[in-house]
Structures are given as structure tokens and as C-alpha cells.
Chain A
Amino acid sequence: AQSVTQLDSQVPVFEEAPVELRCNYSSSVSVYLFWYVQYPNQGLQLLLKYLSGSTLVKGINGFEAEFNKSQTSFHLRKPSVHISDTAEYFCAVSRLGAAGNKLTFGGGTRVLVKP
């Protein structure tokens, strides 16, 4: 079984400041890694995903994440946030090669961008 831990439930940050959201996972097998974002009153939207290859993954809206296999982490970063980045962010994994691709999510991190 897999598990995902998002170490911060809430992250307040000032506009134009950098932000890092931490995600650690536990799995006995290799996994694919995802970051989703949920804006208020909307569904989850994929920000980026890591399947293989380069450990630095670039996503939409200026976000990027780095896969660190030895530390079993997949932290999400943005160098300069905007008010519109206020949302809840979810880290998720699915098992490599498993049929179905069901996602295991972390508890979410609420980001509040202040002016």
C-alpha cells in the first residue's frame, strides 16, 4: 500500500514571494507522482506529474516539482506567487504498472496568498 504525507496543512505567503509545498510518500513499489490544485468551487486540476526521466518537472502556472527518490519526496515550488494561486494543493501517487491508476492522496495544503 502507498501513503502520502503533506507536511503543511496551511501555508500563508505574501504575493510575489516564493512558496514550497512539501510532499513525502511511502511505497514498497515504484510510483507515479502528481500534484493537483483545487481552486474555490472548482474540481481538481492537474498541475504536473512525474512518470520517469528528469527529476525536475515543470507544470502549468509557473509551478515545478522535484522528485527525490532517496528521500521519497516530491516537493512543489513556485518562485513568485500571485493572489490567484490561493487554492488547495494535493499531492498524489499511483502505483507503477498497476491496472487502473487509482490515486492515493495526501491531506492537502491550503495556500493563502496575501497582498
Chain B
Amino acid sequence: EAGVTQFPSHSVIEKGQTVTLRCDPISGHDNLYWYRRVMGKEIKFLLHFVKESKQDESGMPNNRFLAERTGGTYSTLKVQPAELEDSGVYFCASSQGVARGETQYFGPGTRLLVL
């Protein structure tokens, strides 16, 4: 069974440009999460999809970030325009349900560097 995959693995862009990150969850997982780790700090929650609906987007930092999950399969996270402080590692995770303490399976992350 394939795990959570993320693309690209690395991205280097200039301030003001747009970047789109993609996450493919484990097949059959309705729940998809985005997290971010900025400059060696703690990993922080961004948002949670249940199928194609946003269940919780309380961690999204501002309106330069737009997440979508059309059809309830893969998800994209767009940053437009990117700022220096957006640099970090963006993780995606998925889980089958939201039973108590259900395990989230993480992808390898996308390392974003904004110059």
C-alpha cells in the first residue's frame, strides 16, 4: 500500500512568487491534514479536510494560503504571494477516520525556501 506522497520534495522560489504544493493521501483516507514546520520550530497544524470539506482551518496563517481538495482525493496548498517567513517544511498527513486518537500517517514533506 502506497503511503502519503507529496510533491515537490523541494521548492525554491523568490518572494512574491506563487507556489503550489500537492499531497496525495493514502487511498481510502477521508481525512487529510496539513502541518508546517518553520525554521526548526515546532510542527504546527494548518488545516484539516474531511473528504472535500474543510473541517478546521484554524491554523492557516493568513489569506495568502489557499488549500483545496477537489473530489476528496488529493489536496493542494497554494501560497500566493510567498513571503520570506513562509519558508519551512510543509507536511501532509492522512487518516481513515477520526476515531479517538486515530493514527495520522505523514508524508515526507515539501521543503520550501523563499528567497
Residues of A within 8 A of B (CB): 4, 32, 34, 36, 41-46, 49, 51, 90, 92, 94, 96-97, 99-108
> Is A49 within 8 A of B103, CB to CB?
yes
Give, as a whole number of angstroms, the nearest-CB distance from B69 to chain A.
14
CB within 8 Å of A: which B55-101 residues: 55-56, 59, 91, 93, 95, 98, 100-101
Kindly name the residue among B43, B45, B103 whose own CB sees the greatest number of chain A CB atoms within 10 A.
B43
Total residue contacts A-B, CB cutoff 8 A: 65
Tell me the count of chain B residues lying within 8 A, CB to CB, of chain A.
28
Contact (Cβ within 8 A) B108 A101: no
B103 contact set on A, CB distance < 8 A = 46, 49
Q: Given A49-B103, A105-B35, 10 more contacts at CB 8 Å?
A: A43-B3, A43-B105, A43-B107, A46-B103, A49-B101, A51-B100, A92-B43, A101-B31, A102-B59, A105-B42
**Contact among B3, B43, B55, B106 with A100 in the assembled complex (CB-CB below 8 Å):** B55
Which residues of chain A are within 8 angstroms of B109 by Cβ–Cβ distance? 43
Q: Point out the residues of chain B lying under 8 angstroms from A102, CB to CB.
A: 33, 45, 48, 56, 59
